[in-house]
Amino acid sequence: MTKQHTTDTATGTFTFAGWDERPVAGADGGARIAHAAVSNDYTGAVEATGTSCEYTIAYTSETVGTFVGYEFVDGTLAGRSGSFVIEQRGSFGADGTIECSFTVLPGSGTGDLAGLTGAGSFTARSGQATTPYSLAYAVAG
């Protein structure tokens, strides 16, 4: 008999704890590719400090572009301890707004988070100290 999995929603905020961006190819002010190593601190349903996130960023102008990345989160989710990886895809505009959708990488959950699946999003706005996130998730088992 298979256990039914209920979907829960995790919400909270995160702050950028560090951002190290380096150019890869292209011209300043025009189309170019960059790499960014980022760390975040999460509060709320996800509690984690100093996550490790790697982004590849494609700029189409000085302030507009898209990105993809992976973030390793080690901490707790709704009181369950473990780690997991999220895959992120998003875009940013000239006004500084960042829109991002993400999914939990299947099979990446460890500890009490083994079997974790889910998807979520965030919108970061220029000038905000913290960014709200939402993650709809289930844990097998």
Residues 67-100: pLDDT tens digits? Answer: 999 999 999 999 999 999 999 999 999 999 999 9
In the chain, the percentage of residues whose pLDDT exceeds 90 is: 84
For residues 36-53, give the mean pLDDT. 97
Q: Give residue 136's Cα distance to chain centre.
A: 13
Per-residue model confidence (pLDDT) at position 141: 65
C-alpha–C-alpha distance, residues 31 and 72, integer Å: 28
Query: Hey, is 113 helix, strand or coil?
Result: helix
Query: Is the CA virtual torsion 138, 130, 63, 28 positive or negative?
Result: negative
Instruction: Give residue-wise pLDDT tens across range 6-36.
Output: 789 999 999 988 899 999 999 877 799 999 9
